[in-house]
Chain A
């Protein structure tokens, strides 16, 4: 049995990412993300816990497009955590930045303080036009109006994976727990696992020469590692 607690992290290989946004769709399906109307989306209120940022390089005809999936980085020194007046967000012992929906009063300070802009707010009660209701994931609560939300590294899958492993009296196998985005990526660009386990794929990839973190100089110590050829 493992003696160290888990420390969940993710590695995203940007050289593999095609920008297909399957991860975005999977996340929507898995986590009961609210839908926006066209007017709300035009205002900027669409909720995408993981989004693909596009960067264009060069001039036509030598244009390159870079895709970067951005999700909650689950920072070790998360700037969003100390500013919440009601402890609705804090770091749990496994390194996840958790969002407690019940405690959120909706001051939205955390949303301002996240340098990656990965936090989303429920401006209205979520509407799910039929038959979307039938597709809801029963393991994930539906957030009401006035509550902040963001990527949770599919904590429901992490909990289930840990429970199953405990039932079988086995340690959690590397790769057994996969958030929806990781599971759905056709290019296998995303890897998820325990950074505290030196044998895990995540831990080994994190040591790679191509590894970097987003906005690293801010000192947030994110746990999402991006791999890209340094060109």
Chain B
């Protein structure tokens, strides 16, 4: 067996103590989140901090955050595949896995956020005794379709390049695992017909999934933009959110790569040049993000509309000022300094920037949802919001759930696409 396969199969064998510890902690936190959700359903949605007027808060902001993270896979796999950027090869599966799991977790949040989640199926179009179909004019139903499409596409996009690796893996394992890999490999033999079909499908899927990903986050953005609330009803939200999603997706990918590189001893494959290239992309997206933020805030300030200026003032100078300026620092200043100055650019600084960006983008979602809702058009309805332990627990649990899903994935499947890595056609 060659060195590549040896290095990539090694993490799949056995379970180290460190791995068990990670899985246990992640599992416990995720389980605690489930308990909290159960408590919330039992007692009533009122155990959260949401109130009138901030009827959307933590859950929706985390929803948008995770859907944003899910754009990691799209960028790397689809855009870089379409531009024949060969350096992406060791990184594609890491990214695609992030996409699928982030979508699954993000898609859970609208369910958690419902006041009556036990009748969530009212949103699914099927002939029913209520003689009613869902309201397809509602951006929430658009959300449902978009995320469903994206999830289907991402799972297929993750699964297709996994098939050849699974067929190979089946030969090197025994017992239940061999059967599992065998089933999933669908009888792949490596004939040229199969390779042709696979590569054609990947090329088509790359284009389609790019189109879907752009639309998904635009649709999520339109949850806000379609509302007449001050500073939400803005045409920039669609592109703003897509850019922000790609931005946070790259950051999540950088963080995942850094952890995987260290934990699975893949220094030979996840090389400094990969981090360098992704850092440059992160820097580019940071500038794009700054451009969109500046454009949005400038137009609001210059337009001087009273309802919007209240929200603007609270965001930049008032109650939300600490979050706002932290966000600017995390999203722009830190990446610009650490990654813009070539001498400072390294794997370590890339990881630090990535963590900073993730914090900054989370704050950005917070600043989109909460200030607008706290300051509605009629001042008599102004209110405050602070999250309760239920919301914080569930939000933390989703990070743990992501970690858990990823740990299980990395234990079952090689984290680098072996056949793609060895296929030296481009780059």
Contact = CB atoms under 8 A, between A and B. Distances in A.
Per the CB under 8 Å rule, do A and B touch in the complex? yes
Interface of A: 40, 43-45, 51, 53-54, 70, 79, 82-87, 103-109, 111-113, 115-117, 119-125, 144-148, 215, 218
A105 B116 contact: yes
A106 B226 CA distance: 18
B138 A123 contact: no
Contacts of B141: 85
Contact of B123 (A54, A82, A86, A215): A86
Interface stretch (B151-159, B314-322, B376-384): B376-384
28 contacts: A44-B53, A45-B51, A45-B52, A53-B380, A79-B227, A83-B227, A85-B134, A85-B135, A86-B135, A87-B134, A87-B135, A104-B116, A105-B117, A105-B120, A106-B117, A108-B55, A109-B223, A109-B227, A111-B52, A111-B53, A113-B227, A113-B228, A115-B229, A122-B115, A145-B46, A146-B114, A147-B116, A215-B378
Interface string B27-63: 0000000000000000111100111110110000000
Given A103-B130, A106-B45, 20 more contacts: A83-B139, A83-B226, A85-B123, A85-B134, A85-B141, A85-B144, A105-B116, A106-B116, A107-B110, A109-B227, A112-B55, A115-B378, A117-B376, A121-B55, A121-B115, A123-B46, A123-B51, A145-B45, A146-B116, A148-B115
The 4 closest A-B pairs by CB, nearest first: A106-B115, A146-B115, A123-B46, A117-B381
Interface of B (DSSP majority class): loop
Given A111-B55, A215-B377, A84 B115 contact: no
Contacts of B376: 115, 117
Nearest to B380: A53
B166 interface: no
B373 interface: yes
A115 to B, nearest CB: 5
Interface residues of B, number: 44
Contacts of A145: 44-46, 115-116
B132 interface: yes
Main secondary structure of the interface of A (DSSP, over half): loop
A226 to B, nearest CB: 13
B46 A113 contact: no
A147 B45 CA distance: 10
B140 interface: yes
A123 B140 contact: no
Nearest to A47: B52
Nearest to A53: B380
Contacts of A79: 227-228
Contacts of B116: 104-106, 144-147
Contacts of B51: 43-45, 123
A85 to B, nearest CB: 4
Nearest to B122: A86
Contacts of A111: 52-53, 55
Nearest to A79: B228
Interface in B322-361: none
B378 A147 contact: no
A112 B229 contact: yes
Contacts of A109: 56, 138-140, 223, 227
Contact of A218 (B43, B44, B228, B373): B228
